[in-house]
């Protein structure tokens, strides 16, 4: 018995031996590479289990708990003297409480970029650049964290890293 398929490039009927299943071969007509599927009688069914809702809820709970612990640890860190002495200011000239609000600004910037709110992102970037050394530490940590803050978890990691790189360049 042979495997029959149509070439993806020229549409011609191609017959291949059974042992060629799962490999690539050349179409005899156009000489393009063609994937030869496995014969249906050789495909083993996958044993799939239903999604365990309890396990998914536990996984989500553990992720949230981990993020809360990480956030609490960041709040407990001591501020460097240069930040404690001179609080950063927003582009409107208002003082920003140092670490936690800078992290909030950075997260809001990424969310605004992801949502396509470029004007809001530009304003947030200006506020962030008012104290870039503090922001740099936060951006670096967020880029290296395996578990991003919960608000940023839906943004793909490469996109998030791109937003942060763009923030640094402005």
Which domain range does residue 12 map to? 2-39
Residues 156 and 99 both lie in one domain: yes
User: Do the domain assignments include residue 117?
Assistant: yes
Q: How far is CA 149 from CA 84, 94, 129, in A?
A: 25, 26, 21
When mean pLDDT is compared across 13-22, 46-55, 84-93, the lowest value belongs to: 84-93
- Rounded distance between C-alpha atoms, residue 125 and residue 127, angstroms: 5
Its pTM stands at 0.43
pLDDT for 13 beyond 90: yes
**Predicted local distance difference test score (pLDDT) of residue 143:** 81
Could you give the number of structural domains in the chain?
Answer: 2
Residues 29-46, mean pLDDT to the nearest whole number = 83
Dihedral angle at the C-alpha atoms of 132, 137, 140, 143, nearest 10 degrees? -100
If you average pLDDT over every residue of the chain, what do you get? Answer: 81
Q: How far is CA 159 from CA 3, 129, 138, in A?
A: 42, 21, 17
Distance of CA 87 to the CA centre of its chain: 32
User: Do the domain assignments include residue 111?
Assistant: yes
User: Do the domain assignments include residue 124?
Assistant: yes
Residues 128-152, mean pLDDT to the nearest whole number = 84
Q: Is 93 left (phi over 0), alpha (psi -120 to 50) or beta?
A: left
User: Do the domain assignments include residue 17?
Assistant: yes
Residues 22-42, mean pLDDT to the nearest whole number = 88
Helix (H) or strand (E) segment spanning residue 122 = helix 118-129
**Predicted local distance difference test score (pLDDT) of residue 73:** 77
Cβ neighbours, 10 Å, residue 133: 11
pLDDT for 75 beyond 90: no
User: Do the domain assignments include residue 61?
Assistant: no
pLDDT for 61 beyond 90: yes
Helix (H) or strand (E) segment spanning residue 29 = none
User: Do the domain assignments include residue 165?
Assistant: yes
- Which residue has better confidence, 43 or 5? 5
Q: Is 60 left (phi over 0), alpha (psi -120 to 50) or beta?
A: alpha
**Predicted local distance difference test score (pLDDT) of residue 21:** 86
pLDDT band at 39 (very low <50, low <70, confident <90, very high): confident
Residues 94 and 159 both lie in one domain: yes
DSSP symbols for 86-113: S--B-TTS-B--SHHHHHHHHHHHHHHH
User: Do the domain assignments include residue 138?
Assistant: yes
Residues 138-151, mean pLDDT to the nearest whole number = 82
Q: What token pair was written down for 51?
A: 């999604």
**Predicted local distance difference test score (pLDDT) of residue 77:** 64
**Predicted local distance difference test score (pLDDT) of residue 72:** 79
């Amino acid at each position: 018995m042979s495997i029959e398929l149509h070439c993806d490039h020229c549409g011609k009927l191609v017959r291949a031996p059974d042992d060629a299943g799962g490999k690539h071969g050349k179409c005899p007509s156009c000489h393009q590479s063609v994937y030869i599927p496995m014969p249906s009688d050789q495909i083993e069914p996958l044993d799939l289990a239903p999604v365990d809702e309890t396990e998914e809820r536990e996984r989500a709970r553990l992720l949230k708990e981990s993020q809360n612990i990480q956030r609490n640890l960041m709040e407990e860190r001591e501020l460097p003297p240069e930040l404690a002495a001179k609080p950063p200011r927003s582009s409107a000239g208002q003082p920003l409480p140092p670490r936690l609000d800078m992290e909030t600004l950075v997260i809001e910037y990424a969310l605004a970029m992801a949502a396509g709110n470029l004007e809001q992102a530009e304003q947030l970037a200006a506020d962030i650049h008012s104290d870039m050394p503090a922001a740099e530490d936060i951006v670096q940590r967020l880029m290296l964290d395996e578990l991003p803050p919960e608000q940023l978890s839906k943004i793909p990691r490469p996109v998030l890293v791109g937003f942060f790189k763009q923030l640094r360049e402005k």
